[in-house]
Chains A and B, each alone.
Chain A
Amino acid sequence: MASFKPTKVQFLPKLGEKVTEETLYWKNYKSPVQIKEFGAITKIDFSPLPPHNYAVTASTRIHIYGPHSQEPIRSFTRFRDTAYGGRFRGDGKLLVAGSEEGLIRLFDISGRVALRQFKGHSKAVHMTSFLSDGFRVVSGSDDLSCRVWDVPSAVELSSLTEHTDYIRALAPSKLNPDLFVTGSYDHTVKVFDMRSGSSVMTMQHGHPVECVLLYPSEALLVSTGGRYVKVWDLLKGGQELVSLKNHHKTVTCACLSSVGNKLLTGSLDRHVKVYNSSYKVVHNFDCDASILSMAIAPDDEALAVGMTNGVLSVRHRRHQKDKEMLTSRRRRGPSYQVFVKGKNFVPRQDDFLVSKPVKQYLRKYDKQLKSFEVSKALDTALQTWTRTSKPDVTVVVIIELNRRGTLKNALAGRNEEIRGCFCVLFFRHIFDPRFSRPLLMVGDIVLDLYQQVFHQSPVVERLLQRLMEVLGREAELQQELLQVLGILDTLFTSLTPRKEIKTVLETTSNNLLAII
């Protein structure tokens, strides 16, 4: 005697994104915290010291936020014009920032007033940074020059004017205090050595460079500009390693995660993309506005993104602890002891073992189908939860009822509510190619059965009206698609080259000769 075979729910493999460890890692961020700033956020920088505060440069001020605070714990507001490029020193105690008027200011984290002011640039200074010895500051300006300043004496040490356009990108080397990389709107990326006082390497990016970034090993250099992200191998004399074109607007910022050195890029197209080590996009963060700046905390604890509309969005990493909190709130089930009770009994040698038949567990609708309760089975399948979250189950039960030839019986004698819920089912899923066929069949039967009573209920009538509209729209769409197909067909046929019959025959005979 065979046991009852439960109805099979068709499982279709999900197309598209492949779930890997990396996507899971990057998905594991909480929903973003939004903080409103006064203007477009041009620079975000994390402090290298725990608790990893971060400086946000926006409009005429620089705010410093704590890792979990939504209010700034400190702010520097003594700017007469827009501030740019606020950056921490390697020990996290000093902060340097440029400004629209060309002044560079140096702040103590705990103080308010600027400790030093470096004057010399004639135009806005967009990029400032400490060199890795911590005693010198390098700045890139719109006056096409790049200057190095001495912190203790506040004098200009040197000025480099090799670029022919605005300098908008700058990255100091962490291993060598005399090296730094600049990127400019003249489409070049240059590596400067302070010992020689001039550029030692020049790379053509091909677009105005928005951001440059050095890998911790400093063998690789990333430059972004236009829609392109390019990776250069410095040890091979600045050879281009890879050129990525995943954004469809200018890529404005890039940063490296501290776990595994994954590259993240943000763009004006409002996306942050995460690349794996072979430069394939593994994850994508969506934002509300064009992204201007981005930074990731050490250990990837938080990802801060600054946008043109002045919103700072901070995503914090989700931890195992948070999950436990969530689960502990739920009702606890029976303890392990309950399940194990009697199961771990080991029979003695001469015990007679009576085996119990394994019980077959069936879903509710299967139980009802087993006992031929067709209307009840349909009711179970049409429950709101099943209908909305698992429409495939509903449709499978409908198909099964049709196979048994009892669909009409099951559908007959229903009240207004059920009829309405059929209509809702139709809007949702009638265009799904998996479901359209059985649903159309159900639609036919329902219309046949309730022809007389439809007009009595205004709700159902309204739903039917809507269904008609939706179907009309779909029909138009299908028509258009067919037209497109026709166009494509003619294109394809005109593209395929005509072949000589003779050659075909020759190949045939050759093939056959080979067989024999």
Chain B
Amino acid sequence: MVERSDIRVVRCGGSKVNLRPPIISTDSRFVLCASGDLVKVYSTRTEEWLHSLQGHTNQVTGIALNPANHLQVYSCSADGTVKLWDFIDGILIKTFIIGYPLFAIYVSEKHEGVLFLHVSMATDSKNECFQLVAVHPPKSAEQEVEAKEMSVVSSHISSNPSCTAFGRGGEYIAFARRLQLNVYFFRKQKTCSFSLKATDKKGAKNAFTCIACHPTDDCIATGHEDGKIRLWRNFIHKKEYTYSTQHWHHNAVNTLCFTPEGTHLLSGGIESVLVQWQYGAGNRKEFLPRLGGSILHISASSDGQLFCTSHSDNKITVIESSFKVCGVIQGLVKGDAVLTDLMIDPRSIALVLNGKPGHLQFYSLLRDKHLYNLDIVQQEYIYEAGLDQFEVVKAAFDIKGSWLATVEERGQKSSDLEFFLKLWAFDERTQSFVLNTTITAAHTDRIISMCFSSSEETTMLVTTAEDGQFKAWCQGADADTQQDQNFWSCDFVGSYHNLKPTNCSFSADSSLLAVSFQEVITIWSPETWEMLTTLCQPPGVIRDLCFGRLSCSKYLLGTTTRNLLCCWNLLTCALEWSSSVEVSKLQPDPLSENVAAFSYQSKHTDLFVFKPSEPRPLFTNKNVCSEKVHRAVFVPREEPLNNCDESSQWLNRSQLYFLTQNMDLLTFSTATEEDRMLSSSKQLVIDDSVAVTPFYLLLGKHRQQQQKLNTQSHPAADKPQQPQGSVTIKELLHTPAHVLPAASVLCSMFVNSLLISNTGVQQDPLREEMDSEKEEEDSEEEMEACDSQQELRVQGSVDEVTLKLSKAQERELKRVRKTDFSWMAGLIDSKP
């Protein structure tokens, strides 16, 4: 086997958990939510991510509990499939192929065996036409079933999935579109429609935004754009319908939800206040304010004890029925734009970027878990659309992680800009950052960039602003405020010909400071604050600036807006080399000499990794993604990889993460890394199998005895002979009985698997590998793979296994493990 070292772009973590309403399982133990192409399962008690249901190839767009079996869940995806899962064990039971991109799924207890799907009939892209279709999934033992039987319920529905709801045990379905409310009665096969005027006398906007039906009563609650909630009654007779209006929300009602008993109606909107209306009691309501971002979805558990709200800041809140928050599941907050750079907290190696309004979020990339939010602005956030509020726009850590500098800004749109520069000290006792200094008027105009000095002894902050000045800030330099000598104050103000500074950067030992002023780079000495030299390479304004590290620290790199990447040698103060590349982001690796440059050309982004000492790139990756990349960061690895291949060596010590304009967080992963991940996940599966089942008791005891015997007789026991048990048997024994295919089906496959097939030899070994890398989910595939692999094993010589590198050995062992048939002996022995 040859060590492959191709580097792939991988989407990593932090996908949205708030796209669709979360589901609480019937026993209130789990919360399920659609997140990217996974369905994630969280615990309601501990808020921990338990596992995820993997299998969809595109965004999961809807999940619904199977009304026939409360341990199963349907999920639909934009890849055109509906999958049925056992969510407790994370097993895929069935896949129904629909063929159209799906946008939502609805099920009802009354219509057992029928799935209602939200389908886009993309006849032409201009006017998207959404349809509600009923699908009868065929009953067959096959794993993948094509479901082509569709009947259209309605062909004109809103694109918003919360505008459709089943009413009163599934007797009718209500769906709203713009100003029209339609109710389809299944028994009569008839649609009633009610419409409202676009605006009334007072200028209220009447468009529907969401809908909810009372579970036992003939009542439909609708939310509107102006914040009104209407309760429709008596709509069975089209002429005599009535509605009552309730108004509390000052902006559009995003979501409505009845409690399962129908005693309360929950509503939420942009105000981030969960409102509980008492059903049938007029205006009596309770509030739960300040939950986070605006409320997007509300769902209630079937016993009515728990509510879940999902928020625009990628968060799910679990709320008890007594209106107390009992848990928060927080994902990576990605707003409309990341204003701060991507940063790494040197202490926790967590990714830091601005998250909730006015906060910095710390996100652990390793565990894909939100660590905590740091409140920077410390002001009450007003949930109102179109309000200009303080946002964290810049942040920087010093090299040890003991200081954090932030800039918050307000009024970017209007002329009067307000901003504060804040400095935060790390407090060892509370393990968090504490505000040390607030500088109200740091500059007279917006701060463009800032950086900390990179020396360990003295910390210094340099800020550059649009007022044409750059300032150096030091701790306790001001003589007037002698109180503690612990506050930050201005040490030096520099400018150059009244030009606007664009960037600043410290050299690796902070003996030099480079500040770029439009097209000119000035080099300063921070000790004496005298300007040492200027470097200039027109044309184009300097966009990015960085010093080389380690052995390349004599080089200064700069990129300009006019497609130029320049490298200066600071010993000779001359241009070493330059190259004509349009670089959108230049990112140096703090642990090595490497510098990554993202270049955007002809509608796709390329990545070049190079050392400043030579203009030839170490690594090139064409077409990384189709959008521009403006944010990137090198994350130090916990343990360095030992890739010997030249093209992937640059990823040995740190990993490169980058953020595209679509707010996708991507990274590069090497083959070795993936192998490691895969093996660790395999081990996890094996560890899982320790669960004590009757089968285990029966077989396990016997096996242990056998093992003892083995070890006594053969001290150097052959590894394949270890009674680990094959994956097949594990799957067989640990898959719950209700999800297994019929015993007759299994039996024939079993017997088949024991036979040595002739066809396996011809199979391409490379494909085998691909197969083995996948998660083994379905037993049939496994069976096929087994016999072919056994062939391989028979053919492969023993010395090949021993001579290979350790990775290769592992892989071989893994394969061998799968082809292990020792269980068979055990099974036969155990028979009386």
Contacts and interface: CB of A to CB of B under 8 A. Distances in A.
Q: Bound pair: A and B?
A: yes
Interface of A: 1-8, 10, 13, 15-16, 18, 369-370, 400, 403-405, 433-434, 437, 441, 504-505, 507-509, 511-516
A366 B387 CA distance: 20
Contact of B380 (A4, A10, A433): A4
Contact of B533 (A3, A370, A505): A505
Interface string B509-530: 1011000000000010100001
A5 B291 contact: no
A351 to B, nearest CB: 23
Given A508-B573, A513-B571, A369 B380 contact: yes
Contacts of B570: 508, 512
B416 A441 contact: yes
Contact of A515 (B379, B441, B554): B554
B69 interface: no
Nearest to A440: B416
B630 interface: no
A5 B571 contact: no
6 contacts: A5-B380, A405-B388, A509-B571, A512-B512, A515-B511, A516-B554
B9 interface: no
Contacts of B761: none
Contacts of A433: 441
B525 A511 contact: yes
Interface residues of B, number: 41
A10 B379 contact: no
B660 interface: no
A512 B325 contact: no
Interface string B397-418: 0000000000000100000100
A427 to B, nearest CB: 23
B511 A1 contact: no
A202 B533 CA distance: 60
Nearest to A370: B380
Contacts of B291: 1
Given A1-B290, A13-B483, A516-B554, A508 B523 contact: yes
B511 A403 contact: no
A222 B523 CA distance: 55
A195 to B, nearest CB: 51
B482 interface: yes
A284 B388 CA distance: 50
B713 interface: no
Given A403-B410, A441-B416, A504-B532, 11 more contacts: A1-B291, A8-B378, A15-B481, A400-B379, A405-B388, A433-B441, A511-B532, A512-B512, A515-B507, A515-B508, A516-B554
B602 interface: no
Contact of B553 (A3, A403, A515): A515
Contacts of A4: 290, 380
Contact of A8 (B379, B507, B532): B379
A403 B290 contact: no
A5 B379 contact: yes
B379 A7 contact: yes
A505 B379 CA distance: 50
A508 B389 contact: no
Contact of A13 (B481, B523, B554): B481
A434 B378 CA distance: 19
B571 A1 contact: no
Contact of A511 (B416, B481, B512): B512
A15 B478 CA distance: 11
Contacts of B553: 515-516
A1 B325 contact: yes
Contacts of B50: none
A107 B284 CA distance: 96
B568 to A, nearest CB: 11
Contacts of A515: 507-509, 511, 553-554
A403 B571 CA distance: 51
Contact of B378 (A1, A5, A18, A514): A5
Nearest to B481: A13
Interface string B526-563: 00001111000000000000000000011000000000
Contacts of A509: 571-573
Nearest to B389: A403
Contacts of A405: 384, 387-388
B646 interface: no
A263 B692 CA distance: 89
B200 interface: no
Contacts of A5: 378-380
A505 B535 CA distance: 12
A1 B288 contact: yes
A491 to B, nearest CB: 18
Nearest to B289: A1
B739 interface: no
Max count, chain B CB within 10 A of own CB: residue among A15, A18, A369, A512: A512
Given A508-B523, A508-B533, A512-B571, A404 B387 contact: yes
Nearest to B531: A504
B336 interface: no
A10 B382 contact: no
Interface string B436-454: 0010110000000000000
Contact of B290 (A2, A7, A434): A2
A15 B480 contact: yes
Contacts of A8: 378-379
Interface in B568-604: 570-573
A513 B523 CA distance: 16
Contacts of A369: 380
A514 B553 CA distance: 11
Interface string B458-485: 0000000000000000000000111100
Closest 8 CB pairs of A and B: A508-B532, A5-B380, A15-B480, A13-B481, A512-B571, A1-B325, A2-B290, A512-B570
Nearest to B375: A5
Max count, chain B CB within 10 A of own CB: residue among A1, A437, A504: A1
A515 B549 CA distance: 11
Given A513-B571, A515-B509, A10 B416 contact: no
A257 B384 CA distance: 66
Contacts of A16: 480
B732 to A, nearest CB: 48
B440 A505 contact: no
Contacts of A514: 511
Contacts of B523: 508
B107 to A, nearest CB: 32
Nearest to A499: B530
B391 to A, nearest CB: 12
Nearest to A404: B382
A477 B578 CA distance: 53
A498 to B, nearest CB: 13
Contacts of B290: 1-4
A8 to B, nearest CB: 6
B532 A507 contact: yes
Contacts of A504: 530-533
A10 B379 CA distance: 12
A354 B570 CA distance: 68
B308 to A, nearest CB: 15
Nearest to B483: A13
A429 to B, nearest CB: 16
A235 B300 CA distance: 92
Nearest to B379: A5
Interface in B368-399: 378-380, 382, 384, 387-390
A431 to B, nearest CB: 15
B40 to A, nearest CB: 23
Contacts of A511: 511-512, 525, 532
Contacts of B440: 10, 434
B655 to A, nearest CB: 28
Contacts of A2: 290
